[in-house]
Structure 1
Amino acid sequence: MLSRPRLQSFAAAAAMVVMLALPAAHAQERIKLKAIGQPLATGLIQKNKEQPFFENFAARTGLPIDVDYKPIDTLGIKDTEQLRVMKAGLFDIVSLRVSQNSRDEPTILGLDLVGAAPDYATGRKVAKAYFDTADARLQSQFGVKLLGVWPFGPQILFCKKPVAKLADIKGMKVRVYDQNLAKFIEMVGGTPVPVSFADTHQSLSLGVVDCAITGPSSANSAGWPEVTTHQMAIGFQMALNGYGMTMKSWNALAPDQQAKLKKSFDALSDDVWKYSEELFQDALNCNAGKDPCTTGKKFNLVNVPVTSADIDLVRSAVTKVSLPVWAEVCDKSNAACSKTWQATVAPVLGLK
């Protein structure tokens, strides 16, 4: 039997062992997650907003989480494969490219039908109205929880041949990134050509396409004005993207941690909405060689005036092309797809 002094000594030693072990235990409690980011080539939103958020994840969220963040164009994964690799459990968080992944899950394209969100204010309303629908579908089909939605901004037209109005693309080959946009280009008389963002500069240079569609800031970052001559600032889509997390990783967090995480992604998304709008006008100026130009490189593209007739043409796309075409595809995999869109988004747009 141990004497009192020896018992006290033993207890003290045991307490010391516990204290020494605490830092190691705390260190082991840190959560490590893997994240897919936007392509480096897309430019300033990825560089100045998204990457800093993930590289300082613990500080930005107040959670003991470290994130291994990699832009998708450094991973050897196509941007059309994001939902598949998330479902397979290869990554925990994704900066989801909505249009590019709509073939795997057509429901999510309801966030960004051609003609539905020609400006930022409308884009925000659509995103808010459709968020829960997209979230529920991603959870049920891919085990991914939607944490936020944000825009690259209005996707506009760049051409290496003179254009004065939208109808001038008749007979031209136009780079597109989803089927919805492809059908609209066909309606106007152009030939849609699916080309990845990373390959578009070369495709324009080699004449594989005559025109291409993206946001002005992304175009500036990727050097599209080097191989084009005209820009037409008419918004076909808002290029909405999202942040998603596997339900496995989400459910591993305590409720208070989930609340903190969602609040942090809400703040990031809101920040990107504001930043995107600032970039849009500045990039248009830069591309045309005008001031103020603070975020990009100056080029000398011709600014093509946007006519009211062309604005009406794009807006009419919702009822004439994008909604019917999307509904046909989406309803095959999700019976309530277009009906849900009509109940949530259509009222926001004043459609009956």
Structure 2
Amino acid sequence: MKRFTIALVTAGMMATSSLALAAEKSFNVLGQPLATGLIQKNKEQPFFENFAENTGLAIDANYKPIDVTGIKSEETLRVLKNGLFDIVSIRTAQAARDEVFLLGQDLVGLNPTYEKARQVYDAYKPHFAARLQEKFDAKLLGLWPFGPQVLFCKPEISGLADLKGKKVRVYDQNLSQFIESIGATPVPIGFSEVQQALSRGVTECAITGASSANTAGWPEVTEYFMPIGFQVGFNGYAINMKTWNKLSPEEQEKMQAAFDKLVDDIWVYSEELFEDALRCNVGKEPCTTVTKYNMKEVPVNEEDLKIVADAVKTVSFPTWSETCEKNYPGCTELWKKVLGPLTGIE
């Protein structure tokens, strides 16, 4: 009996010691803003809060949404490179200010549907990952889309032509150039500040995902909703290479498998949220994930769809290419080789 008791105590001490060691090994993680809504709340944060369980590794995650840290979205890859965080949730549109090549997979008009976005992502991913490692000493763990980035307006509109002369909130340079091309004035504003900017008239219209805008209360200060997708808002995860290289090959395999599962799960969830938000924003049923509003839906006509689709060749690719070549010579030909077959651009 005494030996059995000693064995139990010893086993208990070993288990406690093992847990303590696991707790000592922790990754600092910079996440999506709380303000962006349900993907952050229901998928990303739970994944990192249960990091050891989800990865099968004796590693905890010290998870912080970016909007509680004081760090700006365009700084995410910088803080990853300098080791302040081990893993960051990449906000590609903002991070592209440091490396425009990353934005090459989400040019205006390139990804009209989830299916097309997945094709573009699969083709561009190896090159996105290579540039990420070269420029920021980071390994790509995977990317997912927020969903089609659509239009919310306070004044009445019936189509894209009515944006002429209006101030429109944008979030990256490529979208800014497209908005200029149709006669509107692009206004770059951080996501968390948009609702107030719309309320005060700093901007008259704004572009983001249908679900994120709903969660952030944009329908409370806008009246017209046009579900035309300009981009899909790629975001995702990267890990500092020094952190990655400290893991054994087996640990690396487990971690990558866990992120593959998370990313695939978010792809499916993102589309579910988008479809539901399309209904919720204009007061239709079923509405199950976000708040029901009674915005006026602006029908998307063939002419406007063509304007956005044609933008890849006429505006977004040429302007992106010019900027990219200044910092990454040869990126134009690389883009054409990778995405030319999907776009017809040679």
For residues 152-301 of structure 1, the aligned pairs below 5 Å read 152-301=146-295
Instruction: Tell me which of 89, 112, 122 is aligned to 1:128.
Output: 122
2:88 match: secondary structure: strand
Which whole-Å CA distance do the structure 2 matches of 1:325 and 1:316 have between them?
Answer: 14
Match of 2:322 in 1: 328
Which whole-Å CA distance do the structure 2 matches of 1:123 and 1:193 have between them?
Answer: 26
Which whole-Å CA distance do the structure 2 matches of 1:179 and 1:94 have between them?
Answer: 22
Which whole-Å CA distance do the structure 1 matches of 2:220 and 2:34 have between them?
Answer: 19
Letter in 1 for 2:36: T
Which whole-Å CA distance do the structure 2 matches of 1:297 and 1:104 have between them?
Answer: 35
Which whole-Å CA distance do the structure 2 matches of 1:23 and 1:224 have between them?
Answer: 49
Letter in 1 for 2:155: K
1:345 match: secondary structure: helix
1:305 match: secondary structure: coil
Instruction: Tell me which of 137, 143, 153 is aligned to 2:137.
Output: 143
- Structure 2 vs 1, CA of residues 67 and 19 (structure 1 numbering), >3 Å: closer, same or farther? closer
Instruction: Tell me which of 295, 308, 312 is aligned to 1:318.
Output: 312
Instruction: Tell me which of 81, 94, 101 is aligned to 2:95.
Output: 101
2:140 match: secondary structure: strand
Match of 1:45 in 2: 39
Letter in 1 for 2:156: P
Which whole-Å CA distance do the structure 1 matches of 2:90 and 2:231 have between them?
Answer: 16
Match of 1:87 in 2: 81
Which has the larger displacement, 167-176 or 77-86?
Answer: 77-86
Match of 2:21 in 1: 28
Letter in 2 for 1:180: N
- Structure 2 vs 1, CA of residues 18 and 155 (structure 1 numbering), >3 Å: closer, same or farther? closer
2:78 match: secondary structure: helix
% identical aligned pairs: 55
The answer to whether the Cα contact below 8 Å between 2:22 and 2:59 also exists between their aligned partners in 1 is no
- Structure 2 vs 1, CA of residues 318 and 24 (structure 1 numbering), >3 Å: closer, same or farther? same
Match of 1:303 in 2: 297
Which whole-Å CA distance do the structure 2 matches of 1:175 and 1:238 have between them?
Answer: 16
Q: List per-residue Cα deviations over 1:31-56 (Å, max 9, x = no partner).
A: 20010110000000100111111111
* 2:53 aligned with 1:54: no
Which whole-Å CA distance do the structure 2 matches of 1:179 and 1:202 have between them?
Answer: 22
Which whole-Å CA distance do the structure 1 matches of 2:75 and 2:127 have between them?
Answer: 21
Which whole-Å CA distance do the structure 2 matches of 1:59 and 1:19 have between them?
Answer: 20
Large movers: runs of 4+ above 3 Å: 16-23
- Structure 2 vs 1, CA of residues 62 and 160 (structure 1 numbering), >3 Å: closer, same or farther? same
Give the TM-score of the pair, scaled to structure 2. 0.94
Query: 1:350 offset after TM fit, Å?
Result: 3.6
Match of 1:64 in 2: 58
RMSD value over aligned CA atoms?
1.7
Q: List per-residue Cα deviations over 1:104-132 (Å, max 9, x = no partner).
A: 01110012111100110000011111001
Q: Which has the larger radius of gyration?
A: 1
Give the TM-score of the pair, scaled to structure 1. 0.93
Letter in 1 for 2:20: A
Q: List per-residue Cα deviations over 1:289-324 (Å, max 9, x = no partner).
A: 110100111111111000111111001111111111
Letter in 1 for 2:340: A
The answer to whether the Cα contact below 8 Å between 2:109 and 2:309 also exists between their aligned partners in 1 is yes
1:109 match: secondary structure: helix
Query: 1:351 offset after TM fit, Å?
Result: 3.1
Letter in 2 for 1:178: D
- Structure 2 vs 1, CA of residues 307 and 61 (structure 1 numbering), >3 Å: closer, same or farther? same
Runs of 5+ in structure 1 lacking a partner? 1-12
Letter in 2 for 1:177: Y
